[in-house]
Structure 1
Amino acid sequence: MSSVLRNFTALSCTFRPCFSRLSTGKTWVLDSEVRTLVLRVNPNRKCSEGGKFNQPVSAEFVARVSGVPTMARLPFQESADGLHAAFVGVPIDTGTSNRPGARFGPRQIRVESAMLRAYNSGTRAAPYESVKVADIGDVNVNLFDLKDTCKRIREAYRKIVATGCIPLTMGGDHTIAYPILQAVAEKYGPVGLVHVDAHADVSDVILGEKIGHGTPFRRCVEEGLLDCHRVVQIGLRGTGYSADAYEWSRSQGFRVVQAEDCWFKSLAPLMSEVRAQMGSGPVYLSFDIDALDPGFSPGTGTPEIAGLTPIQGVEIIRGCRGMNLVGCDLVEVSPAYDTTGNTALTGANLLFEMLCVLPMVKYY
């Protein structure tokens, strides 16, 4: 059997029990119990670049259902050392106010990410030719103590961003944005924020507690982690505790784009304005899956009707190309409420789109 192979470094480490690897010039030989594959590199793909970038295992050669699940079938690495970007899970739902289950989000996103391929056909982005990225596993959270969990997240992300690596986070409930931004702002100073969500998450106290998934951005403002005139919140909707549920956000200088302002239209023009607003300063992208209408993504803890479409979600992320992104997250995937797996599949695709818009990514 002969076919195209870009660079199967990832294959040998991910499937070490099943395969051995021999190199003979431009020929890679993969021996299995079933057969021997001789795969010739097509030099026109220009992908290996001397092997300095990781490559995901391709379903052209290894079945998607095989192997240990990692995000996008990338190699697993224990730390962010040497990486330009890293996928990392934060499996908590201790800060959830409604339906729990987001602690299982990172695991299910990884499983569904087996559908992802190496290139973005819509934008022609080639992230694995230009960014060294791996899955570095999960933060070791404390499911019985939310404050301790926030401390653990903050310490873990300090180590990640200290290396210059850009974290791409799989949540977990939205509480995690607070300690992540504490670590990010320590390195970069106050950051701009593109916040995509059904909820503003700027409550002061919920049930007597100041830390939860409805409060992270209030805490971030109080601690000076955000450049408030470079904050935009997109997709906000639903019932509120007052007639103007977003008054506090606007009073801080945030741009609030309610879901009603997004109905029946492309969001590409909006994102052109947002790029101008963000300028060249550091920006963090936080995407709550409940920004999407629950008809598309029902697997979440606090669904609200009349939300964004997946197309609009992709437009928002692609519209972040050109920003100085220093971190991204995709949160609130709660798999138990979507037995199809489509919410996690959507989350996996949105995370891939985030990878594709990082500053150093190559486009054809």
Structure 2
Amino acid sequence: MIDPQERWRAYGEKPDYLGLLTFSGVPYTQDPAELAGADAAIVGAPFDDLVSDRPGTRFAPRSIRAASCPPGPHLEAGVDAFADLRVVDYGDAPVVPAQPEVAHAAIEATVGEVLRAGALPVILGGDHSITEPCLRAVSAVHGPVGLLHFDTHTDTGEEVFGATLSHGTLMRRVVEAGNVAPRRYVQIGLRGYWPGEKEFGWQAEQGITSLFAHDVMHRGIGAVVEEALAAVGDGPVYMSVDVDVLDPAFAPGTGTPEPGGLTSRELLWAVRTLASRVELVGADVVEVLPTLVGSADITSLVADRVVREALTGVAVRRRAAVGA
């Protein structure tokens, strides 16, 4: 007779609705000592105090974990990232509501612990402002990094509604702080009606590469990915995925939706391909808003898959490096 408890212990084989809520059921720890030997660590950043429209992304890390399914082989790549990599769930950064500087410092410190252990931090936001402390932590270890940024918006404003600390200003701030090498910074999926001439003029001065949703439509996602790879070049790279890069048909649960975006198929393929071909030193998925009625499962599910595709790409790259 099958002993299900024994199978859980031996193989981690259980339905995704059972057990402690961790990403894909991976082991949970908040002890830095237990990060030793981990290849990647999932970190929650449940913070949304700096949004300019609809709040609620503080609930996303829990929702993304709940949407995650058990590990298994990627049917296109032929790799099970969770078998090739040791992945742990490092819980949530101890953010403090209504104190953004304190919350950002907590996120930076938590991501820093993962990096010091030699693991790849994969962060579940949160609004997009959480990428700023993540990049501070990453650049403290690796120096100015390349950046692959999927988004509807550039997030390079000097201010948003008068606020200089915002989910719409972070990318300008990390460039000006020297956390990101601007000539190795690529934006993918831009569309809509913001920002304007001033922001794009500043970006041109910095040498930032902007690739639009219409580029994906006319040229195809493959050509856009190749241009992104050429621009980001060699060296350490951080990847940030704002789910509003997707058309709202594929990600309705986000604070600033914009029609006309990428499909989930295009995004997931691009994330995996890029992660397999760059030196990825950190990644995040942000702006999932699971509190909108009817949207939680769709958007949280695609965010889960973004993480899985990134980890699959890392596993593919590692296999290629060892000739497996």
Provide the TM-score with structure 2 as the length reference. 0.91
Matched, 1:157 2:111: yes
Q: Which residue of 2 aligns with 1:63?
A: 15
Q: 1:299 aligns with which of 253, 269, 283?
A: 253
Change (3 A) 1:221 1:228: same
Q: Which residue of 2 aligns with 1:212?
A: 166
Where do 1:1-364 residues align within 5 Å? Answer: 19=5, 21=6, 57-58=12-13, 62-78=14-30, 79=32, 80-114=35-69, 116-240=70-194, 242-243=196-197, 246-263=200-217, 266-320=220-274, 321-340=276-295, 341-358=297-314, 361-362=318-319
Deviation at 1:270? 2.0
Q: How far, CA to CA, are the matches of 1:274 and 1:113 in structure 2?
A: 28
Q: Deviations over 1:296-352 (max 9, x none)?
A: 100001111111111110122122112000000000000012525110001001110
Greater shift, 310-319 or 227-236, is seen at: 310-319
Q: How far, CA to CA, are the matches of 1:304 and 1:332 in structure 2?
A: 13
CA contact (8 A) 1:131 1:361 kept: no
CA contact (8 A) 2:154 2:195 kept: no
Other structure's SS at 1:262 match = helix
Q: How far, CA to CA, are the matches of 1:184 and 1:190 in structure 2?
A: 9
Greater shift, 166-175 or 275-284, is seen at: 275-284
Q: How far, CA to CA, are the matches of 1:282 and 1:362 in structure 2?
A: 18
Greater shift, 132-141 or 75-84, is seen at: 75-84
Q: How far, CA to CA, are the matches of 2:107 and 2:36 in structure 1?
A: 17
Deviation at 1:265? 5.1
CA RMSD of aligned residues (A): 2.2
**Gapped runs of 5+ residues in structure 1?**
4-17, 22-27, 31-38, 40-54
Deviation at 1:228? 1.1
Amino acid at match of 2:68: S
Q: How far, CA to CA, are the matches of 2:170 and 2:162 in structure 1?
A: 15
Q: How far, CA to CA, are the matches of 2:118 and 2:22 in structure 1?
A: 22
Q: How far, CA to CA, are the matches of 2:242 and 2:144 in structure 1?
A: 21
Larger relative helix fraction? 2
Change (3 A) 1:270 1:242: closer
Change (3 A) 1:129 1:64: closer
Deviation at 1:225? 0.8
Q: Deviations over 1:151-171 (max 9, x none)?
A: 111122222111111101111
Q: Deviations over 1:51-90 (max 9, x none)?
A: xxxx7x33xxx23221121101111122333211011110
**Gapped runs of 5+ residues in structure 2?**
none
Amino acid at match of 2:172: R
Q: How far, CA to CA, are the matches of 2:84 and 2:103 in structure 1?
A: 33
| Alignment size in residue pairs | 315
Deviation at 1:273? 2.8
Other structure's SS at 2:91 match = strand
Deviation at 1:241? 5.3
Q: How far, CA to CA, are the matches of 1:242 and 1:206 in structure 2?
A: 13
Q: Which residue of 2 aligns with 1:47?
A: none
Q: How far, CA to CA, are the matches of 1:155 and 1:65 in structure 2?
A: 31
Deviation at 1:276? 3.0
Other structure's SS at 2:291 match = helix
Q: Which residue of 2 aligns with 1:36?
A: none
Other structure's SS at 1:263 match = helix
Amino acid at match of 1:233: Q
Other structure's SS at 1:232 match = strand
Change (3 A) 1:243 1:163: same
CA contact (8 A) 1:268 1:315 kept: no
Q: How far, CA to CA, are the matches of 1:172 and 1:274 in structure 2?
A: 25
- Percent identity, aligned pairs only, is 34
